[in-house]
Amino acid sequence: MIRTSARRIAAGLAASLSVTAWTATAASARELPEPSSAAKARTELSGLTVAAPHPMTGYSRAKFPHWAQQGADCDTREVVLKRDGRNVAQDAKCRAVSGTWLSVYDGKTFTSASQLDIDHVVPLANAWRSGADTWTTPHRREFANDLVHPQLVAVSAASNRSKGDQSPDQWKPPLRSFWCTYSRAWIDIKHLYRLNVTAAERSSLTEMLDTCR
Q: List the domain boundaries for the chain.
A: 2-209
Predicted model pTM: 0.85
The separation between CA 195 and the C-alpha centre of its own chain, rounded to angstroms, equals 16
Q: How far apart are CA 8 and CA 76, in angstroms?
A: 37
* Residue-wise pLDDT tens digits, 63-122: 999 999 998 889 999 999 999 999 999 999 999 999 999 999 999 999 999 999 999 999
pLDDT at 12 over 80: no
The 3-class SS string of 34-84 reads: CCCCHHHHHHHHHHCCECCCCCCCCCCHHHCCCCCECCCCCEHHHHHHHHH
